[in-house]
Chains A and B, each alone.
Chain A
Amino acid sequence: VTPHRVLERTENSARIEIEGEIHQLYFAREGSAVVVWHNGTTYRVEGAKQGGGPQHPVNSTGEIRAPMPGKVLHLNVAVDSVVAERDTVVILESMKMETSLHAGKSGRVCRVLVEPGQVVEMGELLIVIE
């Protein structure tokens, strides 16, 4: 880390002196990342987890997970339903926008972990296809 002095620190801001210049910064955690505003730009610094890329989970394993927090609007399948790859299996609603989730592979639905109306977190497991 570059030599520096922290001149002032609050929960979400700091004044830092580095290489003879004084900088005002604001920062916060956003999930696994830290966001930092400095001199007109917001930077996203990902934590140990590999970041930057799309966070839509790849579901070729047969696990359908929520790509964002939201509400389950509609389930197109039940346990024992047979689905083909690319079939729409769940419709999520988040912030007045609908998102269709598709089967990543064909097979039989062996687990349905949610029901319509249920609020789910980002990354939550919704459906498993064998």
Chain B
Amino acid sequence: MIRKVLVANRGENALHARSANQRQRIESYLDAEEIVRAATATGADAIHPGYGFLSERTTLSAACERSGIVFIGPSTETIRTMGDKLESKAQMRNAGVPITPMWQSDPGRHEYPLLIKAVGGGGGKGMRLVEDPKNLQAAMASASREAASAFGDDRVFIEKYIQNPRHIEFQILGDAHGNVVHVFERECSIQRRHQKVIEESPSVAMTPELRTAMGDAAVRAAAAVGYRGAGTVEFILDSKQDFYFLEMNTRLQVEHPVTEMVTGLDLVREQIEIANGNALQLRQSDLRQTGHAIECRIYAEVPEEKFRPATGRVAVYRPPSGPGVRVDSGIDRGSEIGIHFDPLLAKLIVHAPSRTAAIERMQRALSEFVILGVRHNIEFLKRVISSEPFAAGQLDTHFLERHTELLNPAETELPPVVLVAASLAASPHRNAPFNDVWTTGPWRNT
């Protein structure tokens, strides 16, 4: 029975830790042995890895297995298999899950364009698009060097390049008793630098038949590796509605709240129940998607300058609220946004009866979100969410590259009151005695 959980993470990831009874200071979130020692020292009987950091490395799950602490996630063997792109694809093919055609060497001119990928990891590292056979060898060599430095594994392979696909993923839950269900799809086609920016559920591309086919494939994928816990099977979907297995993430994902909003499930609770050895109480036929949910990732970055990361100190933090609005964030007024962690400041999730209503609610929530002191992408997200192609659901993973008009704000004149506020901000607050006249004056109580 799990009574005390160590959350080995930070920021909005460790949201539940805000009210934690105990906090343990550690030197590094990447040192598995140290995290296990921290768990032992605080008397925790389980570790939740969150996402990022060690969640998809076998070192933490293996260290837990050695010291008798429950790792809230799949087995070390499952993490290892799914972390190896070649091995996972072979397993998926055997399980009858569609995969993109792949090769170890030049498949011939008629298969171009091709995509070179690293065996050891993703995120765009070790990835190259090759359109001309004469560039293949050089591209493989350079991808291999990049993969070696990023993942310590120089192996690369060649895949058919799918033009302008949608990114559709299925949330799955598997228990230790062989039960697996899927909890529907999320569409995460709005990406920059191969990282997701906006996610939603349901996907506008989905028909009931396609959902059944993809959901069944996701369940087969998880069952093939004896998956235990919450995981995500990622697919790409082409314009002909053919789908291909991309990879499986053996952890909870950043965008999991989207699924929680449309299903009413608490996925972290499900993870803990599964880790406790309990059988899933959910049957596929009981699960329903209700309404529409959208998540926007609020990043500390400058979209108009190639999304470069931004740093600073948060001077004002006022999150939006209201029905159907959820904010997961680990920051507050005074937080220092430094260079050492990724630039996710907060996740803003909305839920409404329809996609149109969810878009309107997101526009309102983004407008009410005030973060000052560090540059961020809120105005950019408003432009994307309010754009015609987004409303039309014409999404694919190159959306932002195609719609470059969304990167830059329209030239607008500053309202006079903004100029007044700007001059106030530029003058120090303390030696502005005339303000006191007004704050104690007749306007004070209006």
Contact = CB atoms under 8 A, between A and B. Distances in A.
A2 to B, nearest CB: 4
Contact of A26 (B316, B417, B419, B423): B316
Interface in A27-57: 27-31, 34-38, 40-43, 45, 47, 54-56
A21 B340 CA distance: 44
A41 B316 contact: no
B370 A26 contact: yes
Interface of B: 193, 300, 304-305, 308-312, 315-316, 318, 339-343, 367-368, 370, 372-375, 378-379, 414-426, 429, 432, 434-435, 438-439, 443-444, 446
27 contacts: A2-B416, A2-B419, A5-B438, A6-B435, A7-B443, A7-B446, A8-B444, A9-B435, A16-B417, A16-B421, A17-B443, A23-B417, A27-B422, A27-B424, A36-B418, A36-B425, A38-B415, A38-B421, A42-B372, A42-B379, A43-B415, A43-B422, A45-B414, A70-B309, A95-B300, A95-B309, A96-B342
Contacts of B193: 97
B417 A1 contact: no
A11 B316 CA distance: 10
B425 A34 contact: yes
Contacts of A36: 418, 421-422, 425
A95 B146 CA distance: 19
A43 B414 CA distance: 8
Nearest to B305: A54
A5 B443 contact: yes
A126 interface: no
A82 to B, nearest CB: 22
Contacts of A17: 443
A18 interface: yes
A27 B368 contact: no
Interface of A: 1-2, 4-14, 16-19, 22-23, 25-31, 34-38, 40-43, 45, 47, 54-56, 67-71, 93-97, 99, 119, 122
Contacts of A2: 416-417, 419-420
Nearest to B415: A38
Nearest to B425: A27
Contacts of A41: 367, 379
Could you tell me the dominant secondary structure of chain B's interface residues?
mixed
Contacts of A23: 417
A26 B424 contact: no
A45 B305 contact: no
A26 B368 CA distance: 12
A45 B339 contact: no
Contacts of A8: 438-439, 444
Q: When A and B form their complex, which 4 residue pairs have the shortest distance between CB atoms, in order from nearest?
A: A40-B367, A28-B315, A28-B372, A27-B425
Given A27-B372, A95-B342, A68 B418 contact: no
B341 A26 contact: no
Given A8-B439, A43-B414, A95-B300, A29 B425 contact: yes
Nearest to B146: A98
A30 B374 contact: yes
A70 B339 contact: yes
Contact of B419 (A1, A28, A35, A96): A1
Contact of A18 (B308, B417, B424): B417
Given A1-B420, A45-B414, A9 B308 contact: no
Contact of B417 (A4, A47, A55, A99): A4
B221 to A, nearest CB: 28
A10 B429 contact: yes
Contact of B372 (A9, A16, A35, A97): A35
A1 B443 CA distance: 21
Contact of A28 (B310, B316, B414, B435): B316
B419 A45 contact: yes
B417 A25 contact: yes
B421 A27 contact: yes
B318 to A, nearest CB: 7
B22 to A, nearest CB: 28
Given A6-B424, A26-B370, A40-B368, A12 B309 contact: no
Contacts of A96: 341-342
Contacts of A54: 304-305
Contacts of B414: 43, 45
Given A12-B315, A27-B316, A30-B312, 14 more contacts: A1-B420, A6-B424, A7-B446, A9-B438, A18-B417, A27-B424, A38-B421, A42-B378, A54-B305, A68-B308, A68-B309, A69-B311, A95-B339, A95-B340
Given A5-B443, A12-B372, A27-B372, A119 B420 contact: no
Given A67-B308, A95-B300, A43 B418 contact: yes
Contacts of A10: 429
A62 B439 CA distance: 54
Given A13-B316, A14-B424, A45-B418, A95 B343 contact: yes
B372 A30 contact: yes
A9 B432 contact: yes
B335 to A, nearest CB: 13
Contacts of B342: 95-96
A41 B382 CA distance: 10
